[in-house]
Amino acid sequence: MSTGTMSRPGRGAVRRSDGFGQLLHSEWIKFRTVRGWVIGMIVAAILTILLGVFAAGGGGISCQQPGRPPQTGKACLPYVPHGPGGEVVTDSFNFARQPLTGNGTITARLIALTGKHVDLSSPGGTEAGSGPGLVPGLAPWSKAGLVIKQSLHQGSAYAAMTVTGGHGVRMQWNYTGDTAGLPGRVTGTSPRWLRLTRAGDVITGYDSADGSHWTKVGTVHLAGLPATVQVGLFATSPNYSVTSQSFGGSSERGGPSEATGVFDHVRLSGAAASGRWSETAIGSGGPAALGPVSRATGFSQAHGIYTLTGSGDIAPVVPGPGSMLPTATVEQSLSGAFLGLIAIVVVATMFFTAEYRRGLIRTTFAATPHRGQVLAAKAVVGGAVAFVTGLVASVIAIAIGVPLETSQGQVVLPVSALTEARVVIGTAALLAVAAVLAVALGGALRRSAAAVTLAIVTVVLPFLLTALKLFPPAIGSWLLRVTPAAGLAIQQSIPRYPQVATTNSPAGGYYPLPPFAGFAVLCCWAAAALALAYFLMRRRDV
C-alpha cells in the first residue's frame, strides 16, 4: 500500500471498499502459513471423525434364542415398524375390534381406567418384569379409548380418542400427533364419553362429560385410508418410570405397567357393522418383546360392559434409556465434535493472541488502522476455516458412523434429509460460531490462557455437567439455555414428543431449547464477545 494513493482524497473510498477483501486475503495468508494451525485444524477433523466413529461403534448388541447359537448385531433386531411419517414407532396394544366398511361412527363411555405398574418402592423395583412386583397405579401415559386403524399391521395409520392416566382426554393420530381434550381423571362420578367419526379420509374426534354435550377435539386427515378399516376399543400402557431429583448416580427407575379400561354404551353405526367384537393383541411378537413390557391382555364383555386390558404403547420410538429398542441417533456419530471444538477454539484464539505475543499486531494495525475491520476479517477467516473443517469432519463421521451403528444392531432413528442436513451443517456452523467466539475473546483478553479457558469452559462444561447428572436437572437445563452450550441443540435430530415419557438428558439426545433457538443463543454470545472486543480494541492502543 503506497502512501501516494492514500493521500488522494477521491480514491480513499474506492480503496477501502476493496480493502476488506484484501484484508481477508492477508488474514488468510497469516492463517495458512502457520503450519501448526493448519495441522491443528486437520487434527481437529481427524479426531472428530475417530471419536464419533468410536462412539457410534461401541454399542454392539448380542442375543440368543433358545436352541440357537448366539447372534450379534443386525441379526438380533426384531421387526421394527415404521409409522406413516417414516419414523420408527412402537405399536403394541390390546384391540377389541371389528371391521368397518365405508363411513361410520363409534361412541363409547369410559367409566373406569385402572392399572398396575412395577413397584418402585421395593428394592427389586428396577428388575424388569420381576414377577409379582406389580402394584395398582397408572402410568401418566396409560391409555384406553377408541381407535380407527388402517389395518392390523404394526405401524399402519390410525386415529384415536383416548383417556390417559395423567394427561386427560387426548386425540392422537399417526404416532406423532397429539391434541388435548377434556382434562382430569376418570372416576366413578366423572366418566368420559368418546366418539370417533369417519368420513372418507377424514376422522373427527369428540369428547363429552355427559354424553349429550359434545366438543370437537380435532379433525385429522389420514391419507389413503382403505374402504374397510378396523375400529374398536383399545388399552395399552407404556413402561412406568420415575426419575428422582438426584444425580451422580443412576436415578432412572422403571418397569412394565398395564392398563384396564371399562367401557359401556359402546355403539358402532355405519354400514356392515357386524356387532361382534373380537380381541387382537397388536404387536405381541414385535419389538416390545425386547423391552420389559408386561404381557398382560384380557377382554371380557357382559351386559353391555366391556373390560379391556393391555400393555405397550402407540407412540414414536425415542432415544434414551427408556426406549424399548437399542436405538441410536444420527448425531451420535457427531459426538466427536467436542474434541474438534476444543482444538478449533485453541487455534482460533491463537489466531489473534499470537499477534499480540509476537508484536505483529502493531504491523497489522499500522496497515489497517480500523480496529473493527481487523476484528471482522479475523472472525470471518477463523469462522470460515472452522466451518469447512467441521463440515468435512461431520460428513465423513456420519457417512461412516451411521452404517456402523446399523451393522451393530442399533436402530438408527430415521430423520428427513432436511433434518440430517441441519444436523451436519449445524455442527459445522456450531464450530464456526465457537471459533468466532474464541477469536473475539482472544482479541478482547489478549491472553491465550484466559481466552481458551473461557471459551472451552462455557461451551463444554455445561453440557458435561448436565450429561453426567452432576447437577440437578433443573439447574442443568437452565445452564443449557443461557450459556453458549445452548448451541449444541442444533445437533438434536429427534424432536421431543410430549406424549412419550423420556428423560431429558442431553446425552440421550435432548436439549431444553429448540435447535435454532439454542443456536441463536450461541450466536448472541459470539456477537456480544465481538462487541466487547471491538469496544476494548478501540479504547486501547494495540
Partner 1 sequence: MKVALHAEWTKLRTVPGPAWLLLAIVALTAGVSAAAVGATSCPPGLRCPVDPAKLSLTGVQFGQAVVAVLAVLMICSEFSNGMIRVTFAAMPARPLVLAAKASILAGLVLAAGIIAVAGSVLAGHLILPAHGFTAARGFHAVWVTYGPSMRAAAGSVLYLGLIALLSLGVAAMVRDSAVAIGAVLAVLYLFPIILAFVTNPAWQHRLERWTPTIAGLTIQATTGLRSLAISPWDGLGVLGIWAGAALLGGALTLRLRDA
Binding site for partner 1 (CB under 8 A): 51, 54-55, 58-60, 121, 244-251, 332, 335, 338-339, 342-343, 345-346, 349-350, 353, 357, 447-453, 456-457, 460-461, 463-465, 467-468, 470-472, 474-475, 507
Residue 115 forms beta bridges with which residues? 259
- Cβ 483 vs Cβ 462: under 8 Å: yes
Q: How far is the CB of 475 from partner 1 (least distance, A)?
A: 6
Q: How far is the CB of 393 from partner 1 (least distance, A)?
A: 16
What DSSP letter does each residue of 157-174 carry, written as one string? -EEEEEEESSS-EEEEET
- Cβ 437 vs Cβ 524: under 8 Å: no
Residues recorded for the chain = 542
Q: How far apart are CA 378 and CA 382, in angstroms?
A: 6
Query: Among residues 119 and 207, whose Cβ is nearest to partner 1?
Result: 119
Query: Among residues 460 and 513, whose Cβ is nearest to partner 1?
Result: 460
Q: How far is the CB of 353 from partner 1 (least distance, A)?
A: 7
Query: Among residues 365 and 471, whose Cβ is nearest to partner 1?
Result: 471
Query: Among residues 5 and 72, whose Cβ is nearest to partner 1?
Result: 72
Q: How far is the CB of 361 from partner 1 (least distance, A)?
A: 14
447-458 core/surface letters (b: 16 or more CB in 10 A; e: else): ebeebbebbbeb
Q: How far is the CB of 292 from partner 1 (least distance, A)?
A: 18
Query: Among residues 5 and 250, whose Cβ is nearest to partner 1?
Result: 250
CA triplet 13, 17, 21: central angle to 5 degrees? 150
What DSSP letter does each residue of 429-443 carry, written as one string? HHHHHHHHHHHHHHH
Query: Among residues 65 and 250, whose Cβ is nearest to partner 1?
Result: 250
Q: How far is the CB of 43 from partner 1 (least distance, A)?
A: 11
Q: What does each C-alpha distance from 236 to 37, 114, 147 come to in angstroms?
A: 58, 11, 12
Q: How far is the CB of 338 from partner 1 (least distance, A)?
A: 5
Query: Among residues 53 and 268, whose Cβ is nearest to partner 1?
Result: 53
Q: How far is the CB of 520 from partner 1 (least distance, A)?
A: 24
- Cβ 386 vs Cβ 431: under 8 Å: yes
Q: How many CB atoms lie within 10 A of CB 354?
A: 18
- CA torsion through residues 58, 59, 65, 66, sign: positive
Q: How far apart are CA 191 and CA 111, in angstroms?
A: 5
Exposure of 213 by Cβ count < 10 A (0-12 exposed, 13-18 middle, 19+ buried)? exposed
Query: Among residues 151 and 504, whose Cβ is nearest to partner 1?
Result: 504
